[in-house]
């Protein structure tokens, strides 16, 4: 510091020679700056040569351990580094052979026998065997590990009783059996039609046993096994660099069994959280893909970047939770009034503008072939009447101000403000908007310290169950305080049902009950908004926003 100070002092002394000298100094400095800047080709331009995909990740993943991860960001990276028993078709997400080259399903649909391929390899050359999968399933179900997604494995027979600590592994007889080195048999509690799809979730991914044990990570969170120098995976890419909050880098894994099919040489993931910054990065050619797009920018981007802006259907519902444990939302009429007073069409057309669909049910229509009857609608007159009857009964003139809680985000704010307007106009209710940062928000909602709170749910697999199981009484994800035995019954019958018809019928009952008692206020079904550069090929819109990287390649825009 002293040196720089002296340097500056001496520089400033030169001013009082003819001013030209001063300008000369600044001119040199400016020239250097410009030289440094001007000659840079953008990432996207360089990528055609380098074959590196620059991906906007949207958030820094909390863990790179598949048994501890919980986020979409984690999925994006883990699907490059690891592969499960099955993989997915890049267009339809249909299950394709992954580590397992084939499988047999028993008559009663409760037993799956997988034959693993012989040439599956970990990145250090070790073969991938059935033992690896058994070890991995045991690890994630281990209660001492504290995995948040262990419940994804509950379809396995006895998995839940092992995970909940009632029995030891051997005693519990969890439905995982290694018949030989390359044959794995999984037994389920009940038939699960979407089981093979489930296997694409990272909670079902294998981990490399020697690496885990070397770093003492079997039961322990937060070890060094996921660092680039230690990570061993069986997927198309290797972890080659990880600078937290800056970039995660993966390079092609030549030991991968299908390495010949992989055209990308590497991927760089940038965990940019601010949507606006991501957009800026995209427009400068820094990124090939963004994670999201701000609703406010849609009109502008439609005009300037019509070929890059994509609206892709996405399996998710944006909704608000009511707190049924306190007035006024303990009364069904008030909830229904609020629900009927929302003009979803207007919300979607004028505020969101992303081609989102108004939510007429909780489960998005067409999920796995299930189409719920549209029940949520806009009816301001009925809304007013319902509210009136409530107010009259309670002897009130109007409702006291209602607090609407949401986690800090421009998008949520916009929706909240729009609804604030709608409820004020139709019901004359004063809504107080309260934005909280994420952690405080989650905590408040989980503790029931809210009146009305924003929420969203993205499906983990393409089946209505992923949406409807949330509202079971006492379910952790419920958080509204709503309990309904009929609902629980219908849900359970759907889980144990033998035919698709039976499942659909019970799911319809569930939706009906939701629409009647309105513990939640569905607003719209998600659309995945993204900017994608035309040189990215082999990338197809899918409901779960899964894009297997081995089919992706980069090619000049005007190629046929």
Partner 1 sequence: MSSTHSSSLGRDAWLRLRANKMAMASLFLLAAVALISLLGPLLCSYSYDQQNLDRVFQSPDTTHLFGTDNLGRDLFARTTYGGRISLAVGLLATLVSLVIGVTYGMLSGYCGGRLDAWMMRLVDVLYSLPFIIFVILLMVLFGRNFLLLFLAIGAVEWLTMARITRAQTINLKNAEFIEAARALGYSHLRILFHHLLPNLIGPIIIYATLTVPAVMLLESVLSFLGLGVQAPMSSWGSLIKEGAEKMDAAPWLLFFPGMFFCLTLFALNFLGDGLRDALDPKSSKD
Partner 2 sequence: MRKLIISRVLQAVPTLWVIATLTFFMTRYAPGGPFDSERAIPEEIKIKLQSHFGLDRPLFDQYLLYLKNLLQGDLGPSFKYPEWEVSELIATAFPVSLTLGLLSLLIALMVGIPAGMIAALRKNSWVDYLPMSLSMAGICLPTFVLGPLLIYALSTQLGMFPPLGWYGPADWVLPSLTLGLFYAAYIARLTRAGMLETLQQDYVRTARAKGATSWRILTKHAARGGLLPVVTFLGPAFAGLITGSFVIESIFFIPGLGKFFVTAAFNRDYTMVLGTVLFYASLIILLNLLVDLLQAWLDPKARQEK
Binding-site member from 92, 118, 190, 277 for partner 2 (CB under 8 A): 277
Q: Does 152 bind partner 2 (CB under 8 A)?
A: no
The phi and psi torsions of 152 (rounded to 5 degrees) equal -65, -25
The phi and psi torsions of 470 (rounded to 5 degrees) equal -65, -30
- The helix, strand and coil proportions of the chain, stated in percent and rounded to the nearest 5, come to 40, 20, 40
Residue with tokens 């979607």: 348
Q: Does 382 bind partner 2 (CB under 8 A)?
A: no
Q: Are strands 357-358 and 95-97 parallel, antiparallel or unpaired?
A: unpaired
Q: Does 392 bind partner 2 (CB under 8 A)?
A: no
- Shorter beta-carbon distance to partner 2: residue 317 or 360: 317
Lookup: tokens for 157: 């027979």
Q: Does 147 bind partner 2 (CB under 8 A)?
A: yes
CA neighbor of 416 nearest in space, from 526, 507, 320, 535: 320
- Shorter beta-carbon distance to partner 1: residue 247 or 433: 433
CA distance 285 to 476: 43
CA distance 7 to 179: 75
- Provide the minimum distance between the beta carbon of 84 and partner 2 in the complex, in angstroms, as a whole number: 20
Tell which positions 248-277 bind partner 1, by CB under 8 A.
Answer: 276
Residue 309, beta-bridge partner list: 531
Pick what 435 binds: partner 1, partner 2, none; C-beta below 5 to 8 Å, kind-dependent.
partner 1
- Shorter beta-carbon distance to partner 2: residue 70 or 382: 70
Stretch that binds partner 2, among 206-214, 331-339, 376-384, 440-448 (CB under 8 A): 440-448
Lookup: tokens for 151: 């419940």
Three-class SS state of 322: strand
- Shorter beta-carbon distance to partner 2: residue 272 or 351: 272
Binding-site member from 177, 255, 433, 458 for partner 1 (CB under 8 A): 433
* Residue 256 CB coordination number (10 Å): 23
- Shorter beta-carbon distance to partner 2: residue 273 or 331: 273
Three-class SS state of 525: strand
- Provide the minimum distance between the beta carbon of 37 and partner 2 in the complex, in angstroms, as a whole number: 4
> How buried is 456 (Cβ within 10 angstroms: 0-12 exposed, 13-18 middle, 19+ buried)?
middle
User: How many alpha carbons fall within 13 Å on the CB side of residue 304?
Assistant: 9
Q: Is the bond into 545 cis (omega within 30 degrees of 0)?
A: no
**Three state DSSP letters for 141-208:** HCCCCCCCCHHHHCCECCHHHHHCCCCCHHHHCCCEEEEECCEEEEEECCCCCCHHHHCCCHHHCCCC
- Provide the minimum distance between the beta carbon of 278 and partner 2 in the complex, in angstroms, as a whole number: 9
- Shorter beta-carbon distance to partner 2: residue 94 or 166: 166
- Provide the minimum distance between the beta carbon of 211 and partner 2 in the complex, in angstroms, as a whole number: 13
Helix (H) or strand (E) segment spanning residue 242:
strand 237-243
**31: Cα separation from own chain's centroid:** 46
Helix (H) or strand (E) segment spanning residue 310:
strand 309-322
Q: Does 418 bind partner 1 (CB under 8 A)?
A: yes
Q: Is the bond into 328 cis (omega within 30 degrees of 0)?
A: yes
Binding-site member from 437, 500, 502, 557 for partner 2 (CB under 8 A): 437
Stretch that binds partner 1, among 26-34, 98-106, 161-169, 406-414 (CB under 8 A): 406-414
Q: Does 59 bind partner 1 (CB under 8 A)?
A: no
- Shorter beta-carbon distance to partner 2: residue 164 or 382: 164
With both helix axes pointing from N to C terminus, report the angle between 332-340 and 380-394 in degrees, rounded to the nearest 10: 150
Contact pattern from residue 159 through residue 188 relative to partner 2, giving x for each residue in contact according to CB under 8 A and a dash for the rest = -----xx-----------------------
- Provide the minimum distance between the beta carbon of 284 and partner 1 in the complex, in angstroms, as a whole number: 13
Contact pattern from residue 479 through residue 508 relative to partner 2, giving x for each residue in contact according to CB under 8 A and a dash for the rest = x-----------------------------
Q: Does 292 bind partner 1 (CB under 8 A)?
A: no
Size of the site for partner 1 (CB under 8 A): 24
Tell which positions 444-473 bind partner 1, by CB under 8 A.
Answer: none
Binding-site member from 413, 493, 540, 546 for partner 1 (CB under 8 A): 413
- Provide the minimum distance between the beta carbon of 323 and partner 1 in the complex, in angstroms, as a whole number: 17
CA distance 259 to 237: 9
Return residues touching partner 2 (CB under 8 A).
1-2, 4-5, 8-9, 11-13, 15-16, 22, 29, 33-34, 36-38, 40, 60, 62-65, 70, 143-151, 164-165, 220-224, 226-227, 243-247, 270, 272, 274, 277, 280-281, 283-284, 286, 437-444, 446, 476-477, 479
Return residues touching partner 1 (CB under 8 A).
276, 294, 296-297, 299-300, 346, 350-351, 408, 413-414, 416-418, 420-421, 432-437, 440
């Amino acid at each position: 510091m002293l040196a720089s100070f002296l340097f500056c002092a001496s520089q400033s002394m030169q001013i009082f020679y003819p001013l030209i000298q001063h300008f000369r100094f600044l001119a040199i400095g400016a020239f250097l700056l410009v030289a440094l800047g001007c000659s840079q080709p953008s990432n996207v331009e360089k990528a055609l040569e380098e074959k590196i995909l620059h991906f906007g990740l949207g958030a820094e993943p909390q863990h790179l351990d598949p048994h501890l991860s919980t986020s979409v960001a984690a999925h994006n990276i883990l699907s490059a580094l690891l592969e499960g028993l099955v993989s997915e078709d890049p267009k339809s997400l249909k299950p394709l052979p992954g580590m397992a080259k084939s499988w047999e399903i028993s008559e009663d649909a409760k037993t799956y026998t997988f034959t693993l391929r012989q040439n599956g390899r970990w990145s250090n050359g070790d073969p991938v065997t059935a033992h690896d999968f058994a070890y991995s399933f045991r690890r994630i179900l281990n209660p001492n590990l504290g995995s948040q997604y262990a419940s994804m494995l509950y379809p396995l027979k006895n998995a839940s009783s092992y995970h909940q600590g009632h029995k030891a592994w051997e005693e519990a007889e969890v439905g995982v059996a290694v018949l030989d080195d390359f044959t794995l048999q999984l037994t389920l509690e009940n038939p699960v039609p979407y089981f093979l799809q489930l296997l694409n979730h990272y909670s079902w991914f294998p981990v490399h046993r020697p690496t885990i044990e070397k770093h003492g990570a079997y039961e322990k969170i937060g070890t060094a096994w996921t660092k680039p120098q230690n990570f061993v995976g069986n997927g198309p890419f290797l972890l080659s660099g990880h600078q937290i909050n800056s970039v995660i880098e993966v390079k092609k894994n030549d030991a991968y069994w299908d390495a010949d099919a992989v055209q990308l040489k590497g991927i760089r993931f940038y965990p940019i959280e601010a949507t606006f910054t991501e957009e800026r990065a995209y427009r400068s050619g820094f990124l090939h893909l963004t994670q999201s797009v701000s609703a406010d920018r849609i009109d502008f981007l439609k005009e300037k970047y019509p070929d890059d802006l994509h609206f892709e259907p996405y399996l998710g519902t944006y909704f608000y939770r009511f707190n049924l444990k306190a007035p006024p939302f303990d009364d069904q009429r008030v909830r229904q009034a609020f629900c009927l007073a929302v003009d979803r069409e207007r919300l979607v057309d004028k505020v969101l503008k992303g081609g989102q669909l108004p939510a007429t049910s909780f489960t998005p229509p067409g999920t796995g072939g299930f189409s719920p009857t549209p029940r949520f609608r806009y009816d301001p007159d009925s809304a007013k009447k319902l509210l009136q009857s409530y107010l009259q009964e309670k002897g009130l003139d109007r409702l006291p101000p209602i607090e609407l809680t949401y986690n800090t985000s421009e998008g949520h704010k916009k929706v909240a403000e729009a609804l604030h307007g709608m409820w004020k106009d139709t019901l004359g209710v004063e809504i107080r908007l309260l934005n909280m940062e994420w952690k405080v928000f989650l905590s408040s909602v989980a503790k029931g310290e809210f009146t009305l709170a924003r929420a969203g749910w993205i499906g983990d697999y393409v089946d209505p169950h992923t949406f409807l199981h949330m509202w079971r009484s006492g379910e952790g994800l419920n958080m509204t305080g709503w309990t309904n035995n009929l609902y629980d019954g219908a849900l359970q019958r759907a889980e144990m049902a033998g035919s698709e018809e039976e499942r659909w019928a019970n799911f319809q009952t569930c939706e009906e009950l939701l629409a009647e008692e309105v513990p939640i206020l569905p607003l719209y079904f998600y659309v995945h908004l993204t900017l994608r550069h035309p040189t990215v090929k082999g990338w197809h819109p899918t409901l779960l926003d899964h894009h297997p990287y081995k089919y992706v390649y980069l090619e000049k825009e005007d190629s046929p």
